[in-house]
A = this chain, B = another copy of it.
Amino acid sequence: MNIEPPYYAVIFSSRRASGDHGYEATAERMVELAKNMPGFLGIETARGADGFGITVSYWRDDSSIAAWRQHGEHVLAQERGRREWYVHYDIRIAKVERAYSGPANPRRTTNLKH
């Protein structure tokens, strides 16, 4: 992702409940859907063995985030998430003001959409 700020980040921190219950398949599907939304810039995710994970998605502007939040299939996934998949989550919408990279290849992130 080689994009100059400002742009937006959605920081999704979550603790998973035990068991899959369709989570992995839905998570993959949501990433595919998000990538096709207008204003999508990239996504990165990490989850440790303790079940705590952070996913950050990047968006052109606030209205792109609103449109994704209201996407029908995503709304259904959000409901299942609250009911089945997460013990707890925090969502933070933040405006990225500055970005830098290291130790080489400035502003390149390997697991973001190019």
Within 8 A of B (CB), among A68-94: 81-83, 86, 88-94
A-B contacts, 19 of them at CB < 8 A, read A9-B9, A11-B11, A13-B109, A44-B52, A45-B54, A54-B56, A81-B102, A81-B103, A82-B102, A82-B103, A86-B103, A88-B102, A88-B108, A88-B109, A91-B101, A91-B102, A92-B96, A93-B98, A93-B99
Q: Which residue of B lies closest to A45 (CB)?
A: B54
Contact size range, A: 35 or more
Does A95 have its Cβ within 8 Å of any Cβ on chain B? yes
A47 within 8 Å of B by Cβ?
Answer: yes
Identify which of A15, A54, A82, A100 gathers the most chain B CB atoms within 10 Å of its CB.
Answer: A54
